[in-house]
Amino acid sequence: MVHGAQLLFCTAVLLNVGAASVLGDRPSARSLSLQVEFAALNETVGGRLYTAVPWELPCFSEYNGTAVTPDEAACAIVQDNYTDPFTRVTHFGAYMASQWETCQAESPNAGCLLDLSDPTDPDAFDGVDCQLGNIPSYYIDVRYPSDVQAALNFSETTGVRLSVKNKGHDYKGRSSGKGTLALWVTNLNSISHNNSFVPEGCSTAYDAITIGPGAITEDIFEYVDNINRTFIGGYHQTIGAGGGYFLGGGHSVLSPVFGLAVDRVVQVKVVTPEGQYVTANECQHPELFFALRGGGGSAWGVVFESTHRLAPQVTLQVASIGFTEHANSSNLADWYELLVNETYRFGTEGWGGHIVGPTIIYVNSLLSNAEANASMQAVADFALDQGGTAVVEELPSYLAFFSKYVTLAEVGVGPETTMGSRLIPTSLFDNEVGRTTLSNTIKNVLSFVNPYIVVGTPFLYNYTVGTTSVTPAWRDSLWHLSIHSEWVWNSTVEYIAEQYTAVTQHAQLFRDITPGSGAYFNEGDVYEPNHTYSYWGENYEILRDIKEFYDPKGLLDCWQCVGWTGAEDTLYECFVEL
């Protein structure tokens, strides 16, 4: 049987070669026939096929070796909004981590980026050749399942590879891809509520919202606030909560009590790689549903909508404490050590939050204001002693918290940036040896970077074992800790490679003290070693079987995803080789 399959494969390859030579040996004949195929595809999708261009192109006077006329007004809009996520999400050729617009492996870096520190800096665009880089060549503005079916069919017949883009937040280049035809799902952005939603074929009813992948997190928070509910979502305004966010796990500062995004999803509608539009939930297509709950974006088909359980409106205690202007190497080390000391207790009390160097913003839905104040006393005292500030206040809703704090504190977009991360297990917090080990490791990386810590693991959430495919390490961890690095528009490929390497090496210090733990797929190291174990742990083998079943032809592939073909695939030619 194996031989038969191999034979079939060889015959197919030969037929392809044969078809090309029938059309003539000149390369233009093949590209001409491809153009005909693209025109037919365009007709099938109602004229919603587009040629992609870099978002920054209006600033340049040369594109791909040809002179073009800059558009000053359009360029000014790009420059003024270079770090604005709301502008970036509206342009196909813009990504939040901007190196994924470029072909990093090429020297000089082939792209069309501006100087982030001053987008009007003419050095970035005067006399510079703007390149499409790693941005897909074409995209379909996806509106209907038939659009995806046509693209899958097109990919199979032409060999043109596919990519899926939503809000462009991916940190690992999985929503771009040189030479690909992209499925842009950004306009599938509906939001609706049903307080007695019953998944198809099931009997349990949930108070839930159904969202398209393109609905942005902030709009969802506003929508549910209006109906006096809480949605468990990420710490940024424009993430596509119904796209890559939940597919990879999805953490929130409310996750310690309310679970990860994958814990709250009850149904997903998806066009599978074989072109079927299916409804997956606990009662039908349960294996696919399991895979969609943490198996990662891009791999299982194209999601059209997902339904998520809501929580009642919550009153929140917010602790905003820090000493930014007074931070130095010695008080920062003590600060992290204090937080390590307190983390287990904070976990049992239901706190979630972010630690960004000398500041924390934590929230709690279980404590009263007096209890929260007492709980945070030691941390507040520490910050005040350094000359910092401390507030522990009560806010009436998650939206009130999001609007007052998160919109100012969320991670900035636009830089070329990478991260390495690790889920830090309870065993490094609930005993003195563990705490000392962790504090010392943090101390050792402070000269490189202040670790960014998300207290967003489902520590108190009553999880039903086996229902999601994220690594089980999430269930027994208190921190998702990450190490970041950035570089600039004109960095050399060697320098870029050094940044990826440095991040991997510093993250390794945390891997070394957490054997058997894992990492967050959506916010992991681009070069994560042993990535299948880190992201999925013991779930990987079954995920791989499900992938083979639903995508037998491997039409959807992405970097370090389930069933990944590997870095040698030409799809990844723009990834830097370390």
Ligand X SMILES: *[C@@H]1O[C@H](CO)[C@@H](O)[C@H](O)[C@H]1NC(C)=O
Ligand Y SMILES: Cc1cc2nc3c(=O)[nH]c(=O)nc-3n(C[C@H](O)[C@H](O)[C@H](O)COP(=O)(O)OP(=O)(O)OC[C@H]3O[C@@H](n4cnc5c(N)ncnc54)[C@H](O)[C@@H]3O)c2cc1C
Structure tokens at 344: 């287990």
CB-hemisphere CA count at 13 Å for 308? Answer: 35
Instruction: Tell me: does residue 278 bind ligand Y (CB under 6 A).
Output: no
Closest contact distance (angstroms) between CB of 552 and ligand Y is 18
Instruction: Tell me: does residue 484 bind ligand Y (CB under 6 A).
Output: no
If contact means CB under 5 to 8 A according to the sort of partner, which of ligand Y, ligand X, none does residue 168 touch? ligand Y
If contact means CB under 5 to 8 A according to the sort of partner, which of ligand X, ligand Y, none does residue 47 touch? ligand X
Instruction: Tell me: does residue 273 bind ligand Y (CB under 6 A).
Output: no
Q: Which residues contact 107 (CB under 8 A, 6 or more apart)?
A: 492, 493
d(CA 450, CA 335): 11
State which of residues 111, 177, 234, 458 lies at the interface with ligand Y (CB under 6 A).
234
Q: Which is nearer to ligand X, 187 or 228 (CB)?
A: 228
State which of residues 88, 161, 178, 236 lies at the interface with ligand Y (CB under 6 A).
236
What is the signed CA dihedral for 236, 240, 245, 247, rounded to 10 degrees?
A: 170
If contact means CB under 5 to 8 A according to the sort of partner, which of ligand Y, ligand X, none does residue 373 touch? ligand X
Burial status of residue 199 (CB atoms within 10 A of its CB: 0-12, 13-18, 19 or more): buried
If contact means CB under 5 to 8 A according to the sort of partner, which of ligand X, ligand Y, none does residue 250 touch? ligand Y
Closest contact distance (angstroms) between CB of 109 and ligand Y is 20
Q: Are 363 and 316 in contact (CB under 8 A)?
A: yes
Instruction: Tell me: does residue 167 bind ligand Y (CB under 6 A).
Output: yes
Closest contact distance (angstroms) between CB of 123 and ligand X is 4
- Phi/psi-derived region of residue 208, left when phi > 0, alpha when psi is between -120 and 50, beta in every other case: beta
Q: Are 353 and 457 in contact (CB under 8 A)?
A: no
d(CA 187, CA 90): 10
Structure tokens at 220: 């969802």
State which of residues 45, 57, 75, 96 lies at the interface with ligand Y (CB under 6 A).
96
Closest by CA position to 352, among listed 324, 307, 314: 314
d(CA 243, CA 251): 13
User: Could you identify the residue written with the tokens 């470029």?
Assistant: 102
**Whether the bond into 108 is cis, omega within 30 of 0:** yes
If contact means CB under 5 to 8 A according to the sort of partner, which of ligand X, ligand Y, none does residue 512 touch? none
Instruction: Tell me: does residue 229 bind ligand Y (CB under 6 A).
Output: no
Burial status of residue 541 (CB atoms within 10 A of its CB: 0-12, 13-18, 19 or more): exposed
> Position 473: which residue type?
A
Beta strands in 365-415 (DSSP E): 389-395
Residues that bind ligand X (CB under 6 A): 42, 44, 47, 49-51, 64-65, 76-77, 80-81, 87, 115, 121, 123, 132, 149-150, 153, 157, 194, 196-198, 228, 257, 312-313, 326, 328, 330-331, 334, 337-338, 341, 373, 380, 386-387, 390-392, 432, 460-462, 490, 492, 515-516, 530, 533
Q: Which is nearer to ligand X, 9 or 495 (CB)?
A: 495
Binding part of the chain for ligand Y, among 74-82, 202-210, 298-306, 397-405 by CB under 6 A, reads: 298-306
Instruction: Tell me: does residue 174 bind ligand Y (CB under 6 A).
Output: yes
Query: Which single residue brings its beta carbon nearest to ligand Y?
Result: 297
Instruction: Tell me: does residue 248 bind ligand Y (CB under 6 A).
Output: yes
d(CA 566, CA 560): 7
Closest contact distance (angstroms) between CB of 419 and ligand X is 20
Please report, as ranges, the residues that interact with ligand Y according to CB under 6 A.
Answer: 96, 164-171, 174-175, 185, 213, 234-236, 239-240, 243-245, 247-248, 250-251, 297-298, 302-303, 411, 413, 522-523, 558
